[in-house]
Every structure is written in structure tokens, then in C-alpha cells.
A and B are shown apart, each in its own frame.
Chain A
Amino acid sequence: MRKYSALTGRFGEFGGCYAPETLMGPLHELRRAYMRFRADPAAQKELKYQLKNYVGRPTPLTYAARMTGALGGARIYLKREDLAHTGAHKINNAIGQALLARRMGKTRVIAETGAGQHGVAAATAAACFGLKCTVYMGSKDMERQALNVFRMRLLGAEVVPVNSGSRTLKDAINEAMRDWVSTVRTTHYILGSALGPHPYPSIVRDFQSVIGREARAQILAAEGRLPDLLIACVGGGSNAIGLFSAFLGDKKVEMAGVEAGGEGVNTLRHAARFAARAGGSPGVLHGTSTYILQDRDGQVRETHSVSAGLDYPAVGPEHAYLFRTGRAAYVSVTDREALRAFDFLTRSEGLMPALESAHAVAYAMKRVPRMPARKIVLLNLSGRGDKDIDTVREAKRGKNG
């Protein structure tokens, strides 16, 4: 299986560009503009400048002493994307794509958002560079992430509720695509995860790869060696691919992507695309060939997760490739386990994780105690949990009452 083609955007058999014809020209134009952006020293210098002085990079790598002590196994390091401006890794990509949009002469950007973190990041980047911004968000997600909706509006973005389908992330992507197909001459679509038609999975991975590059250097500085296991949550999979990308050549570094198990993978209420029996199968959604939760007629299934950012029926195509080749393992944890992990990290480290990131923590809680103390685990704390306080409060109320 051929590894990766920068021309066709194939990751083995996955990826590619399955877009309506109106978007094909603009996607080719985007690919060319991005190639120039990548090769242009001035553009790269500007990106670096913004990441350092606006986003606040590099983000630290924190040794989680009390968490390590409590779990009694491998030593745990946390890559602190929660400390990036706007509170999650999403800003790395949003700033990069906003710079790209400006270089392409676009005056307006649009974005989809699930948890609202990407919407906030896109609205922030748009405010920073003086671009108009519209964010599409499922109305169910608007309810459960109301704080982020308010933040986006404060930043000057128009937030458009999407009432079709499951009223979550996948429907927001459909609606953003419909906007883009109408406005493509003036508008750049800042896709927020490593999915969609080529070149998006590559662009988003590249902008998020700063996570992995920093983390690799930081763990080498702290421990003098590479970690044994990487853990990251996977919705579309941008924080995970950003971390994994720097370690793909290090065969001894194990990688685990953590999906949303929702109410359990033996129910229909989950978003675990790679789960053994109840999981997904290869298909095409939102412009890319990947693993999809679908019925036997090829209709996309509704998903469930307590975490809006992981509540998505497809997954970035490079993850499908890493799954198929066995380079990365994909596991899932349930809503309940993620909520428990939220409490655990908050109490043991004083770090309140986003519910998405709490999935990664939950897997660490299962896995780390079974690992010897000489092993090192590097976990991507992809975002902070302020946005989820209402959801957590609701969940606790439900449990108590």
C-alpha cells in the first residue's frame, strides 16, 4: 500500500478528494496556494511569529506527578494544549489557515464546529486578521456548549444554528460545505479537523504537527529518550495526528487514539468508528474516503457522545490508514469513564480537561497502572474544560438525583 501522495491526498487507500465539481477548482487552487505557503520562507516566518507571540507557543510539557503516583504505573507527561490561546489546540490550525486565506486574497472565512473550540479559534483568528467570519454549529451542540456560542458572538462571528440531521458536527460540516459551494470566490473554509477532501487532511495535520514537534523535543530534554506510549483523543483526529506525526518514524513509540464510546460500543449510542463489532466500515463522507459509522445501505448513522467534539461518524483518513496498517491502535472509553477522568485530573493535578481530552485521560487511567514505572506516557491534553462545566454539572445532577 503506497504510503502518502501529496498530489492526490491518498493515505494508502484512504483520503482522496470526493467533492462536488464546483469545489474541485477551488480545492486545486487551495492545494497550490498551500504548497506555496509551505515553501515560502516569509510565510513560514509569519506563521512561526504568530504561534509564538499570539498563540503562546511552545506550550509546556508538564510532568503529572500526582496522577502518576495515584495510578502507580508509567510516568505521565501532559502536553499542555489547554494553555494555547483560546484554550485548545484548534488555534494552531485556525491561525495557519487564516494566514493562508489572507494570502489567497479571501475576505471572509467560514467554519464548522462541534464543541465550539474550533469555532472560537476561527472567530479569534478572523478577528486577529480582520476577516469576516461565519460559524456553522449543530443546534444540539449550541445547547450543550452555550458558553462557546457566546464567545464566538463576542468575537464578532455570526453563529448559524444547523437544525438538520442529528444537529451535531456532521450536519454543521454539511452546512458549511453548502455555504462554501455558494461563496467560494470570496470565502475560505477553515475546516477544523484533519478530514474533508484533499488537501484539508494534510493542511490541518501540518498546522497541528507543531504539537508533536514540540512534544518530541520536550520529552527528549526532560527524559533523554522518547516516550513508550502516546495517547490522544480522536474525533476528526486533528490533535492526535498533530501529536502522532512527529513520532511516526519511531517504530518503538506506541500510539493510542481514544474514541468516544458514548453509552457503550454494544449500544448504537457511541462514536467509536474503529470499534471491533459495532464500529464503522470504509466509506466516503464529507469528501474523503475513511471509516464511517453507517448502516448496511450506506446511510450515515447518528452518533452519541457526552463530548460534542468527538460526536462525529467519520474520522480523518490518515487515522483510517494508521488503523489499517496497525501503526496506531484505536480504543474507546464511555461517557461515564470520561466524566470520571474529568474529576480525576481536576482533583489530582488541578487541571480541568475538556471532555474530549478527558477521554484520553480515561484511557490512561486504565492503561497506565498495567505499565511498569520505567515506562513513559505522553498524553495530549488537547483543551481545557471550562466550556464543559454545564455538561458536567448536568451529569452530576443526573447521577445524584
Chain B
Amino acid sequence: MKSLRKSGRAAFIPYITAGDPTLAATRLFLRALESARADIVELGVPFSDPMADGPVNQRSAQRALKNGATLGRILEFAGHYRRGGGKVPIVLFTYFNPLLRFGLKAFAKKAEENGIDGVLTVDLPPEEAGEYRRRLDERGIAAIFLASPTTSAARMELIGRASTGFVYYVSRLGVTGERAKLPAALAAGLKRLRGKVRKPVAVGFGISTPEQVRAAARHADGVVVGSALVKLTEGRSPARAARLIRAAASAMVRALRGLRRTICL
């Protein structure tokens, strides 16, 4: 486990889909996010049937798959990035089937070799994650589980115990994607979760503007922004998209100034 620099603010955790539209573009985007001072990057592994994702991320996954972004290539890509001096911790955001097909043991080994810091599998609850957790744990890779507004107190404890690194709180019922407003019950939901979980909590789903980022960060240790950044890549050259991503991410990081951060991977 690597410890992050202490920057004295809540963590900014942008999401991008690996390989959308190409892995070369993803490299540019990673550099852009790094220079915007992102604390952790969630790298999406595209899947043919992303049932937890809204239209923006669905289209993004389709573009990536069309251009051949397989799990194996994404892991190699992450290794190149690390060996090239890339410093931002990487959490893979994935569905379970590609990992299963790769083999959980082989996946954990390759992930470690290529500098992956954590894995979040959106359709794998702790109850089904026995071997998965063991394999990741053997390799010192964080297993991040999700909690949501429908999660009971008992499940929150289970999720807290199962998670290493941090717990990801899904801000609202529904799929990924931008929304006009943060849910009214967000603060209460995060407070409830923090009462049951000792680990740091990041919040995501539907958070897209600097104002929303700052508001959400008042109640969490980190904030995830996905579709709002992914959307910037649609129909643009990678170089142009990278500039826009950098500008958007910088504005979000600025919005976080002065808010504490406690997530370390």
C-alpha cells in the first residue's frame, strides 16, 4: 500500500473508461488528470452489458470495446503508465465477468505487477466475494465495495469489514450519469454509513459540477466524478478532450480546497 501525499483536502477521484476511444487517448487523459492533481483515478474496464451504467458510460464502453480494450491490454497499459513514472493510484472499476474469465488468481497477480492499487467490482457484493477478496488481499490490492441508500445497517457493517482502502457510497438509486441536483438525503445517508463503517468513504453517481463536488465532499472523504468527464471525450480528438478534461478536473479540485482528506491507498 502506498500512502498518498497529504494535501489537506477531500480526495478527488475522476473516472474514465480505459480504451475510450483508444488506450493511447487514455494515456493522455491520465496525464491530464494527474496534472489537475487528481488523487486517485478510477479506470473503467469496458463490459458488453454494463447494467449499472447510464447512457454516457454505456456508449463509452462500446467505443472502447470496438477498439479492442480487453482486460489484459488495460493491465499492460497501466504497467506502462507506472513504469513511465505515472504516480496517480489506479482503481479498476469493473463488472465481474471479465475478471472471472481472466481467472481471479491470474488477475490479482497481473494487477499487482502492473501497479493497480484497488479494484471495485460493481456487480459483486461481499457475500459472493470470498475468493476475490482472498486473491486481492494476497497481492496487497484494495477491494472496494459499494454501499447505497438501500443498504441496511447490518449490510453496512458487512461492507465496511469487507472493504480495504475505502467504501464507495452510491449517492442515489439509479445508474451512473449526470443529474441536476444532489439528492436531498445525501448527507443523512453518508452520516448513517459513517456511523457503521470505520474506513474512509468516497461518494459518487450523479456528481458532475464543481459545486456538487464541494457539497458532497462536506460529508465524505472523497468524491467520484465519472460521466461528466467521460462525456467530454465524445466526438472530440483525444488532444482536445484531454485539455477539456484537465480544465474540468482542475475546477473540481479547486472546489475541494480546505476540505479534509483521509483516503490513502
A, B: real partners: yes
Chain A interface residues (CB < 8 Å from chain B): 8, 16-26, 28, 164-165, 170-171, 173-174, 177-178, 181-185, 282-287, 292, 294, 296-300
Chain B interface residues (CB < 8 Å from chain A): 47-52, 54, 58, 65, 70-72, 96-102, 122-125, 127-128, 145-152, 155, 159, 170, 173-175
Chain B residues whose C-beta falls within 8 Å of the C-beta of A8 in the assembled complex: 127
With A182-B175, A283-B101 as known contacts, state yes or no: A26 contacts B52, CB within 8 Å.
no
On whether the beta carbons of A284 and B100 are closer than 8 Å, the reply is yes
Chain A residues whose C-beta falls within 8 Å of the C-beta of B65 in the assembled complex: 299
Of the candidates B51, B65, B97, B100, the one having the most CB atoms from chain A within 10 angstroms of its own CB is B51
On whether the beta carbons of B124 and A18 are closer than 8 Å, the reply is yes
On whether the beta carbons of A20 and B99 are closer than 8 Å, the reply is no
Q: How far is the CA of A174 from the CA of B95 in the complex (A)?
A: 13
Q: How far is the CB of A163 from chain B (nearest CB, A)?
A: 10
Q: How far is the CA of A164 from the CA of B47 in the complex (A)?
A: 13
On whether the beta carbons of A297 and B72 are closer than 8 Å, the reply is yes
On whether the beta carbons of B98 and A298 are closer than 8 Å, the reply is yes
On whether the beta carbons of A25 and B155 are closer than 8 Å, the reply is yes
On whether the beta carbons of B173 and A24 are closer than 8 Å, the reply is no
With A174-B49, A283-B101, A297-B101 as known contacts, state yes or no: A25 contacts B128, CB within 8 Å.
no
Q: How far is the CA of A181 from the CA of B99 in the complex (A)?
A: 23
With A181-B175, A283-B97, A297-B72 as known contacts, state yes or no: A20 contacts B49, CB within 8 Å.
no
On whether the beta carbons of A182 and B173 are closer than 8 Å, the reply is yes
On whether the beta carbons of B49 and A21 are closer than 8 Å, the reply is no
On whether the beta carbons of B48 and A300 are closer than 8 Å, the reply is yes
Q: How far is the CB of B224 from chain A (nearest CB, A)?
A: 14
5 A-B contacts (beta carbon < 8 Å): A21-B170, A22-B173, A174-B50, A177-B51, A300-B49
On whether the beta carbons of B125 and A165 are closer than 8 Å, the reply is no
With A183-B173, A284-B100, A297-B70 as known contacts, state yes or no: A25 contacts B152, CB within 8 Å.
yes
Chain B residues whose C-beta falls within 8 Å of the C-beta of A173 in the assembled complex: 51
Chain B residue nearest to A10 (CB atoms) is B128
Q: How far is the CB of B153 from chain A (nearest CB, A)?
A: 11
Chain B residue nearest to A173 (CB atoms) is B51
Q: How far is the CB of A279 from chain B (nearest CB, A)?
A: 15
On whether the beta carbons of A20 and B152 are closer than 8 Å, the reply is no
On whether the beta carbons of B125 and A17 are closer than 8 Å, the reply is yes
Chain A residues whose C-beta falls within 8 Å of the C-beta of B151 in the assembled complex: 21-22, 24-25
Chain A residues whose C-beta falls within 8 Å of the C-beta of B124 in the assembled complex: 18
Chain A residues whose C-beta falls within 8 Å of the C-beta of B150 in the assembled complex: 21-26, 184-185
Chain A residue nearest to B205 (CB atoms) is A22
With A184-B150, A298-B101 as known contacts, state yes or no: A20 contacts B123, CB within 8 Å.
yes
Chain A residues whose C-beta falls within 8 Å of the C-beta of B175 in the assembled complex: 178, 181-182
Q: How far is the CA of A25 from the CA of B98 in the complex (A)?
A: 25
Q: How far is the CA of A296 from the CA of B173 in the complex (A)?
A: 33
* Cβ contact of A298, chosen from B52, B54, B102, cutoff 8 A: B102
Q: How far is the CA of A174 from the CA of B58 in the complex (A)?
A: 11
Q: How far is the CB of A300 from chain B (nearest CB, A)?
A: 4
Q: How far is the CA of A298 from the CA of B170 in the complex (A)?
A: 26
* Cβ contact of B123, chosen from A25, A282, A287, A294, cutoff 8 A: A287
Chain A residues whose C-beta falls within 8 Å of the C-beta of B48 in the assembled complex: 165, 299-300
Chain A residues whose C-beta falls within 8 Å of the C-beta of B58 in the assembled complex: 164
With A174-B51, A181-B175 as known contacts, state yes or no: A21 contacts B125, CB within 8 Å.
yes
